[in-house]
Amino acid sequence: MSFIYFYKIPSILHQLICGSIVNQGHKPQYYIEDHHEGIVSKEEFEKVQEIIQAKSFESKKGRTKKYPFTSRLVCSSCGKNFHRFKDHRGKVSWRCHSNVRSELLCKADPISEVQIKKLLIEGFEKRYSMNKRSNDGLLIKQLMKELANAEAVREHEQNLLRVELEKCLIAENKAILQNRDTEELKLKRKEIEDKIAAKTRLWEDFDKDYEFREESLRRLQDLKGSDKSISKILDLSFMRAWVIHITVESPYLFTIKWIDGNETVVGKFKGGLFYGAK
Residues in contact with Zn ion by the rule CB under 5 A: 75, 77-78, 96, 98, 106, 108
Classify each residue of 72-81 as buried b or exposed e, where b means 16 or more C-beta atoms within 10 Å of its C-beta: bbbbbbbebb
Q: Which CB atom, from 106 or from 185, has the smaller least distance to Zn ion?
A: 106
Q: Which CB atom, from 238 or from 275, has the smaller least distance to Zn ion?
A: 275
Contact 245, 257 (CB under 8 A): yes
Identity of the amino acid at 68: P
Contact 248, 83 (CB under 8 A): no
Smallest distance from Zn ion to CB 71, Å: 14
Classify each residue of 115-130 as buried b or exposed e, where b means 16 or more C-beta atoms within 10 Å of its C-beta: bbeebbbbbbbebbee
Smallest distance from Zn ion to CB 96, Å: 3
Q: Which CB atom, from 111 or from 220, has the smaller least distance to Zn ion?
A: 111
Rounded CA gap, 270 and 1, in Å?
64
Q: Which CB atom, from 15 or from 247, has the smaller least distance to Zn ion?
A: 247
Residues in Cβ contact with 24 at an 8 Å cutoff, skipping those fewer than 6 apart: none
Rounded CA gap, 212 and 83, in Å?
19
Q: Which CB atom, from 3 or from 85, has the smaller least distance to Zn ion?
A: 85
For 267, left (φ over 0), alpha (ψ -120 to 50), or beta?
left
Smallest distance from Zn ion to CB 251, Å: 12
Q: What is the DSSP letter of 242?
A: T
Smallest distance from Zn ion to CB 80, Å: 5
Q: What is the Cα 153 distance to its own chain's centre?
A: 15
Q: Which CB atom, from 23 or from 77, has the smaller least distance to Zn ion?
A: 77
Smallest distance from Zn ion to CB 256, Å: 18
Task: From 206, 205, 214, select the one nearest 144 (Cα to Cα).
Answer: 214
Q: Which CB atom, from 77 or from 93, has the smaller least distance to Zn ion?
A: 77
Smallest distance from Zn ion to CB 106, Å: 3
Smallest distance from Zn ion to CB 89, Å: 25
Mutual orientation of helices 42-66 and 210-223 as an angle, nearest 10°? 30
Smallest distance from Zn ion to CB 78, Å: 3
* SS3 of residue 264 by DSSP: strand
Q: Which CB atom, from 75 or from 220, has the smaller least distance to Zn ion?
A: 75
